Structure 1
Amino acid sequence: MKVTATTALPGTDSRKPIYTHLYVQVLVAIAAGVVVGHFWPATGEALKPLGDFFIKLVKMVIAPVIFLTVVSGIAGMRELSTVGRIAGKAFGYFLFFSTLALIVGLIVANLVQPGAGMNIDPATLHSAAVADYSHQAAETSFTGFVMAIVPTTLVSALTEGSILQTLFVAILFGVSLLLVGRPADPVLDLVERTAIVVFKLVSVLMRVAPIGAFGAIAFTIGKYGVGSLVNLGALVATFYLTSLFFVLVVLGAVARLHGFSILKLIAYLKAELLLVLGTSSSEAALPSLMEKLERAGCDKAVVGLVVPTGYSFNLDGTNIYMTLAALFIAQACNVDLTLGQELALLGVAMLSSKGAAGVTGAGFITLAATLSIVPSVPVAGMALILGVDRFMSECRSLTNFMGNAVATIVVARWENALDRDQLTATLANRGTTDLMSSNFVAPKLGDDSGIMTEKP
C-alpha cells in the first residue's frame, strides 16, 4: 500500500469559523490559563491534573505511532543500505547542530554575562532543593543510557513508554521484515492497516488539546507566578532571545539553503507549537509532527527514522540552555572560568546531553550531570535557577521541536526523498487545513490519498 499525502485546495478552510481551528482553541486556552493562574493561583495549581492527563493520553500513542511508522518505512525501502544511509546522515546532522547549539549558548553567556554582579556565596544556597536532580544525574551515565536502549522483552518496549527502546525494536523488526522479503508482505500489510487506525486515534485525542494546555499553563502560573521571572529576568530573556536567534537565523539559514522558509514552516506547525508551549512538552506534538511532515512531502521512512531519533539526540534548545545556565551560575558565584575550563565544560555537555536523552526534565538533569563532572562550577548554584526553570522549559521544548522539524526536511532532501513541489504548496497553503480537526478521515486501503484525507 502506497501512503502519500495530499495538498489541500486553497480556500478549503475558509468556510470554517475561526473558533473551530485547533490552534485558535489552544491559544484561547493558554490565555485563559494565564488569567486563572495569575488571579486565582490556588485554583491554577489544582488544575495540574488536566495537563498531566492530556500528556498521558498523547504518550499512550507515541510508542505505537513510532513503531508502526518506522517498521512500515524500513520494510518499504527494500534495501538495507538505504536504512543505514539515512541513519548516518541524520546522526551527522544531529552531531553538528547539537554541538553548534552548545557553542552558541557558550558565546552568548560570555557576551551578555547575565549572572555578573549577583555575588552569590555558594555556601548560602539551598542545595537540598536540587538534591533529587543531582541524584538522577548520577544515575544517568552514558553507559547506563546505552544499556537502557535494550528493553526487557520485545513487547515491553511498547508498554514502558521509552522512545529509544521503541525505536530500537522497531528498527530491528523493520529490518527483519525487509530481509524476509515477500513472505512478510501480509505482516507489513497488517502494520500499515493498523497505522491508519492509530493515526485516526491521534486526531481524536487532539480534540482535547485545549483542555490540557489550559490546565498545564494555569498550574505553571499559579505555582510559580509571573513575578518569579523578575529576579532572574536577565537569564530568562537571554535564553529566549538566544533560542529565537538560533531558530530564525541559524535554522532559518539552513532552511533557505534547502529551499524552504523557516517562517512558513513555523506558521504551518503553529497548532503544534502552541500545544508545546501550553504543555511544556515537545512529546505532546510528536505524533502530529510526523503526520504533518509526511503531508508536506517528506518520505515516510525518513520521517519515521529522523523524528523519533531527533527527539533523543537533537535537542538544540536543551543544549543552548545547558551552556548558558552553567556559565550563568559560574558568573553569579564569581567563578572565573578559563578558556580551557569552558572547552572542558563544552565537551562534558556534549556527552551528558546524550546520556540523559529521553529523561523527563532532561534539561535540568543534564545540567546537574554536567556540573557534577566540572567541579569548578558549584552544583548547588542550580538552586538559583530552579524557580524559573519551568518557564525556560517551554522555550527548550519549542526550540527542540523546530530543530527536529527542520532536520527531517533537510535529511529528506539529502536523500532525494522530499517532494519539493508538495512542500512548497503545503507551506503556502498552511492555513487551509487543520490536520488534527475532525475534517480528516482515514483513506481506503490501496488508494494514494494519504493517511489523512479531507472530507468533501
Structure 2
Amino acid sequence: MAGENKTAVGETRRRPWWRLSLTGWILVGLLAGGVLGYVRPDWGNAVFFLRDIFLNLIKSVIAPLVFSTLVVGIAGGGDLKKVGRMGVKALVYFEVVTTVALFIGLGVVNLTKPGVGVSLTATGGAAVQQIQQTQPQTLVQTLVHIFPASVVDAMVRGDVLQIVAFSVLFAMAVSAMGERGRPILRACESLSQIMFRFTGYVMLFAPVGVGAAMAHTVATQGLSVLKNLGLLIGSLYLALAVFVVVVFGAVILLARVPARKFFEAVREPAAIAFATTSSESALPKAMEAMERLGVPPRIVGFVIPTGYSFNLDGTTLYLAMASVFVAQAAEGSGVPHMGFGQQVVMMLTLMLTSKGVAGVPRSALVILLATLGTFLPNNIGPLGVAVIFGVDELMDMGRTCVNVVGNCLATVVVARWEGEFDDRRARAFGTPEEVALDLKEGEPAFAEAARLGD
C-alpha cells in the first residue's frame, strides 16, 4: 500500500512540459501585461480594475489567516515563555538587518552618484502636497497604534500589526483556559486550513491580477522615465542585488538555511509582490510557503506580519538612497554639499523614523519627506520627492519584492534560532514526499498546493 501511495503521489506531481506552475503563469502574466501596457496604454489602464479585484481578494484572507495561525501556533504550543523570547529575537534580527540595508544603500548611492546633474523642478505638485499632509508616526504613536481599540475595526482596515497584537493576547488566553479552550483551538485549526485552501483559489487569479498591474505600470510610466532617472533606478536595483547576495547570502550560511529550497518556496510570493508593489498581496502565500518549508505556525504567524512593520529591508535601503539622491541633486540649486558624516547622521535618523511607517499611505515617501525636511532647506524636500515620485512605482516593485523575501528569511532564521526548524520538511519541499507528509500531519491545504507543484 505504501508503494502504491507513493506512486500515486508521484503521478500527481508530474505535469506535461507545457503545463506551467503558478510561478510560470505569473511570469507569463507579467510579460503579457508589460506588452499590453506598452502597445496599447489605453487598454493597460482599462484593465487595472483586475489588479484591484485580486488585491481585495487577498486582503480578505489576511485577517482570518493571521489570527487563526497565531492562535493555533501559540495556544497549541503550550509554552508561553517562547512567545516573548521569539519576539525579542525577531526584533533584534530586524534591527540588525535593516541597519545593514541602510548602509549598503548609502554606499551604493555615493558610488554611483545618481543625483549629480539632476534638476529639481516642481513636478507632481498635487501628489507631493498630499504626502506633505501626512505625518509619520512617532515612536510613542507607533507603540499605541499596535494595540487595537476594536479588533473588528483592525480586521476591517487590514491593520496587520494590530491583528497580531490581539491574536497573541487571545492565544495566551485560550492557552490559559486549558481544556475549556480546546474547542476554540480546534476551530482555529480548521479556520487556518480553510483559509490556506481559500488562498489557493485566490492564487488562481494571480496571473491575471499581476498582469493587469504590470500593464497599468507600463502604460502610465512608459519607458521615457528610464532615460531621465535611469541611473537612480539602476542604482537601487544594484543595491538591492548586493543586499540580497551579500547580506541574505551571509544569513543563509550562518543560519544553515537550505538555500535552494528557500528560494523555491519564496519565488511565488516574491513575483506577486514585485508585480503588485504590495507586500500584503504576497502575505498569505508567503505564510503558506514558510509553513510548508518547515517553519512552525506560531513563528510564521508572528514574524511575517510583524516584519511588515519592522523589517522592511528593501524600503529601508531605498530610503537611504533616495535621501542622498535628493541631497546630491540639491547641490545644483546652491545647497551646500552634504558630507559623509552628515549622511551617517541622516541614516541614524532614518533608522528611527522608518519604524513609524505602519498604516501610513505612501509610507516610504512620507518618511523621506519628513527626513529631508530636517537636513535640507524646507523647499528642497518637496521638490526632491516630486522628482522621485514619477519613478517611485518602478522602484517600489524591487523594494517590495526584497521586503517579502526578507521577511520570509526572518522566519527561517528565528525558527533555526529557536531550534524548531523542521529540516525534514525542508528536504521534502517540492518533492512527491511532501504530499504524503502533509496528509499524514493533517494539512490537506498544503498537500493540495504540493500536489499542484505551486
TM-score by length of 1: 0.89
Matched with 1:223 is 220
Q: Once structures 1 and 2 are overlaid, which stretch shifts more, 29-38 or 260-269? A: 260-269
The answer to whether the aligner puts 1:452 opposite 2:453 as a matched pair is: no
Task: Check whether the contact 1:73–1:304 (CA below 8 A) recurs between aligned residues.
Answer: yes
Q: CA deviation at 1:149?
A: 2.2
Q: Which residue of 1 aligns with 2:252?
A: 255
Distance 1:317 1:38, change over 3 A: same
The CA distance in 2 between the partners of 1:16 and 1:443, in whole Å, is 24
SS at match of 1:232: helix
Greater helix percent: which structure?
A: 2
CA contact (8 A) 2:124 2:390 kept: no
Task: Give the AA of the match of 1:198.
Answer: M
- 1:421 Cα deviation (Å)? 3.2
Q: CA deviation at 1:269?
A: 2.2
Equivalent-residue separation in structure 2 for 1:263 and 1:370 (angstroms): 39
**Residue 14 to residue 360, structure 1, CA distance change in 2 (3 Å):** farther
Residue type of the alignment partner of 1:282: S
1:25–1:369 Cα change, 3 Å = same
Distance between the aligned counterparts of 1:97 and 1:213, measured in 2? 29
Q: Deviation of residue 371 (structure 1)?
A: 1.8
Match of 2:187 among 185, 190, 197: 190
Q: Structure 1 residues 81 and 295 mapped into 2: Cα distance closer, same or farther (>3 Å)?
A: same
CA contact (8 A) 2:44 2:212 kept: yes
1:134 equivalent in alignment to 2:136: no
- My pick for the range that moved more, 272-281 or 335-344, is 335-344
Distance 1:213 1:26, change over 3 A: same
- Name the CA distance, whole Å, in 2 between partners of 1:325 and 1:296: 35
Q: Is 1:379 the counterpart of 2:377 in the alignment?
A: no
Partner-residue secondary structure (3-state), 1:298:
coil
Q: Post-superposition shift, 1:62?
A: 0.6
Local SS of the residue matching 2:411: helix
Residue by residue over 1:218-248, the C-alpha shift from the partner in whole angstroms, topping out at 9 and shown as x without a partner, is: 0110011122121100000010011011112
Three-state SS of the structure 2 residue aligned to 1:246 is: helix
Aligned counterpart, 1:234? 231
Q: Does the 8 Å contact 1:19/1:25 carry over to 2?
A: no
Partners of 1:34 and 1:221 within 8 A in 2: yes
The one-character-per-residue Cα deviations of 1:341-394 (angstroms, maximum 9, x if unpaired) are 212211221122110124343222221232233335821211111111010000
CA spacing shift, 1:195–1:104, aligned 2, 3 Å? same
Q: Do 2:257 and 2:413's aligned partners in 1 also have CA atoms closer than 8 Å?
A: no
Cα 1:358–1:315 shift into 2, 3 Å: farther
Letter of the 1:131 partner, please give it: Q
- Distance across 1 between alignment mates of 2:219 and 2:242: 29
Q: Of 200, 205, 208, which residue of structure 2 is paired with 1:208?
A: 205
Alignment of 1:63-212 (within 5 A): 63-118=63-118, 120=119, 127-136=125-134, 138=135, 140-212=137-209
Deviation at 1:31, TM superposition (A): 0.8
Q: Matches of 1:369 and 1:301 in 2, distance apart?
A: 36
C-alpha displacement of 1:403? 0.6
Asked if 2 retains the 8 angstrom alpha-carbon contact of 1:73 and 1:301, the reply is: yes
1:405 is aligned to 2:402? no
Moved more, 392-401 or 181-190: 181-190
| Regions of 4+ moved over 6 Å | 8-11
Q: How many residues align?
A: 437
- The answer (yes or no) to whether the contact 2:257–2:412 under 8 Å persists in 1 is no
Partners in 2 of 1:262 and 1:370 — Cα distance?
36
Q: Secondary structure at the match of 2:71?
A: helix
Q: Which runs of 5+ in 1 are unaligned?
A: 1-5
Specify whether residues 370 and 14 from structure 1 end up closer, same or farther in structure 2 by C-alpha distance, changes over 3 A only.
same
**In 2, Cα distance between equivalents of 1:59 and 1:422:** 28
- Please say if 1:349 is aligned against 2:354: no
d(CA) in 2 for partners of 1:77, 1:99: 32
Instruction: Tell me, yes or no, if the aligned pair for 2:22 and 2:268 is still in contact at 8 Å.
Output: yes
SS of 1:453's partner is helix
For the 8 Å contact 1:363–1:393, the answer to whether it is kept is: no
Matched, 1:303 2:300: yes
Contact 2:97 2:313 in 1 (8 A): yes
Give the Cα separation in 2 of the matches to 1:125 and 1:190: 53
Tell me the SS of whatever aligns to 1:385: helix
The answer to whether the Cα contact below 8 Å between 2:37 and 2:43 also exists between their aligned partners in 1 is yes
Verify the 8 A CA contact 1:443 1:451 in the aligned structure 2. no
Distance 1:243 1:208 in 2: 29
- In structure 1, give the amino acid aligned to 2:128: V
Cα offset, 1:93, TM superposition: 0.2
1:422 corresponds to which residue?
425
Distance, in Å, in 2 between the alignment partners of 1:140 and 1:425 is: 43
Q: CA deviation at 1:443?
A: 5.7
Is 1:34 aligned to residue 34 of structure 2? yes
Structure 2's unaligned 5+ residue stretches are 1-5
Task: Return the letter of the residue paired with 2:200.
Answer: S
Which deviates more, 343-352 or 310-319?
Answer: 343-352
Residue 390 of structure 1 aligns with which residue? 393
Q: CA deviation at 1:20?
A: 4.2
1:363 aligns with 2:364: yes
Match of 2:56 in 1: 56
CA distance 1:208–1:153, shift in 2 (3 Å):
same
Q: 1:121 to 1:34 in 2, by over 3 A?
A: closer
Cα pair 2:274 2:401 within 8 Å, conserved: yes
Q: State the one-letter code of the partner of 2:162.
A: Q
Amino acid at match of 1:184: G
Counterpart contact for 1:115–1:329, Cα < 8 Å? yes
Instruction: Note closer, same or farther for the CA distance 1:10–1:310 as it changes in structure 2 (3 Å cut).
Output: farther
**Once the two structures are aligned, what percentage of the paired residues are identical?**
36
Inter-partner Cα distance in structure 2 for 1:230 and 1:262: 36
d(CA) in 1 for partners of 2:251 and 2:111? 24
Q: Provide the residue aligned with 2:3 in structure 1.
A: none
Give the root-mean-square deviation of aligned CA atoms: 2.5
Distance 1:85 1:9, change over 3 A: farther
1:422-441 matches, within 5 Å, as 422-426=425-429, 429=430
Q: TM-score, normalised by structure 2?
A: 0.90
SS for the counterpart of 1:260 is: coil
Partner residue, 1:271? 268
